[in-house]
Structure 1
Amino acid sequence: MSLKFCWRTTSLLATATALLISTTAPKAHADIPDENYRPILEHLLGTVMPPKLDELNGATSNLADGLKDFCSDPDADGLLEVQGDFHSAMDIWQEIQPWRMGPLVANGRDQHIEYWPDKHGTATRQFRKLMFNKPAAFTDPKQLSDASAALQGFPALEEVLFDDKHSDQLIAADEDGVFLCQYGSAIATNLVRLTGEVRDEWPAFADAMRNAGPDSMDYATAKFAATDLYRALHEGLLIISSQKLGRPIGTDAKDASASRGESETSKRSLRNISHNLIGLFAIYDGKWGDVGQEGKGLSALIDSSLLDRSFRLNWQTVQDQLDTLPPSITELLDQPDGYQKLVDLAGQIDLLTSLVENDVGGNTNLGGGFNALDGD
């Protein structure tokens, strides 16, 4: 199987367990010449993403180095520093996470980086067994890479660094603490490997997307390739709504549970969503922090300045709303009107999803009944 074919196959497999969502079909617009999609592919995949993958790999390297230093002489201040390194790495990962294509999802790599959602409590059960047996293999990054995805990646490291009981053990450096430190170091080192693989494999994937055409085994047209970018934008919002917010919201206020949120042990479930929106907006806009250029993403295909301004305003409104909320759902639900604020936020995300489906999907000719991943 060719390298290019693998990328496309992986992208299709990523949606194989999709949850079908009924959407309003985007309004039909005049056909867009295939060559108009090619500069967007070049910009987003060749210019914008590579520096972000470098940043992610660098952040995980800093995390691994910090853990190594901490484990050699653990104390409370050192733990705070390592937790800060964790947050820095998670910030950039949460921005990259929604792109869900190519090397990010090849061989289930995204799940090895972050095994979530864990609807059946797999990680909790496996972690409990791990702490009972304390197998030396899990302190070796290479052997850990062959273990269950639930015992690798950011959620497992979050449990090590942020659970109160484990934090005390780390600082005390007792038998459990020593094992936890070595295990945490192995996780971080494995994350360096995983993010390095994504970075190193990305150029070949980007070339396959940019070279879409009759001679490609993956993408017969540039429009077909650009569809993966639209899908990432669309499904990224649906995942926020159905999983990152929908699961904690539950059926009503009594059923709400922050523990069903993402990264709640480290109290950053809403912070994650804020960073998701940064990475998702880059697909539309073409600029991501100090990387890229405004107007060179999917927005380059929008032929209405009014529609473009409206979309940007609605997106900024949601981001501004998030900025007024605490970083975690736990803290938000502790507020008297916290549940309603959470529901309101989900409604705002749903509005953005509708705008993507109808306005962006229609004006770019890339929309049309995509499915949302349910995370199973």
Structure 2
Amino acid sequence: MIFKPSWRSLLLSTTTVFAVGLSTPGAKADIPDENYQPVLAHLLGTVMPPKIDEFHAASEELTEGFRDFCSDPDNGGLEETRAAYHAAMDIWQEIQPWRMGPLVANGRDQHIEYWPDKHGTAARQFRKLMFDKPAAYTDPEQLSGASAALQGFPALEEVLFADDHGNQMIAADENGVFLCQYGTAIATNLGTLSGELQAEWPDFATAMENAGPDSMDYPSAKFAATDLYRALHEGLLIISTQKLARPLGENAEDARASRGESPLAGRSLRNIEHNLIGLFAIYDGTWGDIGEEGQGLAALIDNSLLDRSFKLNWQTVADTVADLPPSVAEVLVQSDGYATLSDLKGQIEFLTMLVENDVGGNTQLGGGFNALDGD
């Protein structure tokens, strides 16, 4: 088995810590509102901006890579362009779960990545696009006003990884020329979207950091910090209920890797690995070499034993995902593949429970709200 057997024993250790906390007499005093402000300032003003800069730079490099490849297409250029796609997608998957402010304003997250596509909208629209080959879709500005299903990373995935599109672009036949022009327009539009995100984030971060009675949008710092807790909680829910549950289906016979995220690019589990990096930053306050340990939501938890146990459980899950192949398809073909992915889903659900009970309770930010269920 790929999975380490220790995660279930770690569940016991964290549950024990939580039970000890519950047995402590007396109600816990409210956290002063000013205690939330340093967390907001650190996560929104220090940790996230360099990552948005990184995403914009990766989008620009992807655009340049597409232009270079299409000016003189060959196999080497195709592989370099695919590598640029993966680099940009990696950082997007880390940013994606934050789901707040400029990330979701005007549906920006859906224009960057239209997923899940429950009704196959993108596939239908893409087939029609390739039949008609409208010139408007080779112009980034006109493309920005088109259906979200024909923009962003999934559309670019179709161009770079589906069928024989790569061969067509190298051959520079009629389809290949259109695909090159369309792909370059998608990448250029991604650069525009990431640039808008980069430009709008500072004002949003400042408004969150200055939350209080004088704010029109955030009447208290705790109210603002709830968005961070919600991003952490819902980010895990999306992994279990969409990124894993959709390809797993009802049972092993119903499992379909094609229902996962980024199936053509073969990175459905690689996406989850990067999701976990961005989500852990919300809790711990570090993102690679950016930030400071313990300055995220963890700064609000006055229980070092619980904090260590939570981090240990999270690291176990992160290591599990890192040890897996990058795609659901590669795991499902293994004899125990369905059980492996079901076990991973269980681990993510356990982390979600810890966030609801330990993090939500001790930061006083958990209130049972879940935008995914329509509440």
Q: State the alpha-carbon separation in 2 of the partners of residues 374 and 146 from structure 1.
A: 29
SS at match of 1:254: helix
Give SS of 1:164's match: coil
Residue 372 of structure 1: how far off its partner (Å): 4.6
Relative contact order, CA 8 A, sep 6+: which one is greater? 1
Q: Offset of 1:170 from its aligned partner?
A: 1.1
Extract unaligned runs of 5+ from structure 1. 1-25
Counterpart secondary structure, 1:67: helix
Q: Measure, in 2, the Cα distance between the counterparts of 1:94 and 1:372.
A: 20
* Aligned pairs for 1:186-335 within 5 A: 186-335=185-334
Superposed displacement of residue 30, structure 1: 2.3
- Equivalent runs, 1:80-229 vs 2, <5 Å: 80-229=79-228
* Structure 1 residue aligned with 2:9: none
Tell me by how many angstroms 1:199 deviates: 0.7
- Give distance in 2, aligned partners of 1:181 and 1:336: 39
Match of 1:362 in 2: 361
Per-residue Cα deviation, 1:116-161 (whole angstroms, up to 9, x for no partner)? 0000000000000000000000000000000000000000000000
Give the match's secondary structure for 1:373. helix
Residue identity in the other structure for 1:314: N
2: CA distance, partners of 1:149 / 1:343: 31
Structure 1 residues 368 and 374: alpha-carbon distance in aligned structure 2, compared to 1, 3 A threshold:
closer
Name the residue aligned to 1:15. none
In the alignment, the residues of structure 1 paired with residue 191 and residue 28 of structure 2 have an alpha-carbon distance, to the nearest angstrom, of 44
Query: Residue by residue, what CA displacement relative to the aligned partner does 1:51-76 show, whole Å, maximum 9, x if unpaired?
Result: 00000000000000000000000011
Distance 2:270 2:372 in 1: 21
Query: What residue is the counterpart of 1:52 in the other structure?
Result: 51
Q: Distance in 2 between matches of 1:234 and 1:29?
A: 22
Partner residue in 1 for 2:10: none
Query: How far apart are the structure 2 equivalents of 1:302 and 1:83?
Result: 42
2:12 match: none
Cα distance in 1, alignment partners of residues 99 and 28 from structure 2: 27
Contact persistence 1:243–1:374 (CA under 8 A): no
For 1:3, the equivalent position in structure 2 comes to: none
CA distance in 1 between partners of 2:370 and 2:251 (Å): 26
User: For residue 334 of structure 1, what is the amino acid of its counterpart?
Assistant: V
What is the CA–CA distance in structure 2 between the aligned matches of 1:41 and 1:320, rounded to whole Å? 28
In the TM superposition, 1:29-48 aligns within 5 A as 29-48=28-47
Deviation digits for residues 304-332 of structure 1 (CA, Å, limit 9, x no counterpart) = 11000000000000011111210000101
CA distance in 1, matches of 2:156, 2:259: 18
Percent identity of equivalent pairs: 75
Indicate conservation of the 8 Å contact 1:44/1:283, yes or no.
Answer: yes
Higher mean C-alpha displacement, 352-361 vs 366-375: 366-375
Amino acid at match of 1:243: Q
Q: Please, what is the CA RMSD of the aligned residues?
A: 1.2
Instruction: Provide the TM-score with structure 2 as the length reference.
Output: 0.92
Q: Per the alignment, in what secondary structure is the counterpart of residue 164 of structure 2?
A: helix
Partner amino acid for 1:235? Answer: E
Q: What is the CA distance between 1:29 and its match in structure 2? A: 3.4
Q: What SS does the aligned partner of 1:117 have?
A: coil
Gaps of 5+ in 2: 1-20
CA distance in 2, matches of 1:305, 1:171: 57
CA contact (8 A) 1:64 1:188 kept: yes
Q: Using the TM superposition, give the Cα deviation of residue 368 of structure 1 relative to its aligned residue in structure 2, in angstroms.
A: 1.6
Normalised by the length of structure 1, the TM-score is 0.92
2:133 counterpart letter in structure 1: K
* Count of aligned residue pairs for this structure pair: 350
Q: Distance in 1 between matches of 2:302 and 2:152?
A: 42
Q: Which residue of 1 aligns with 2:61?
A: 62
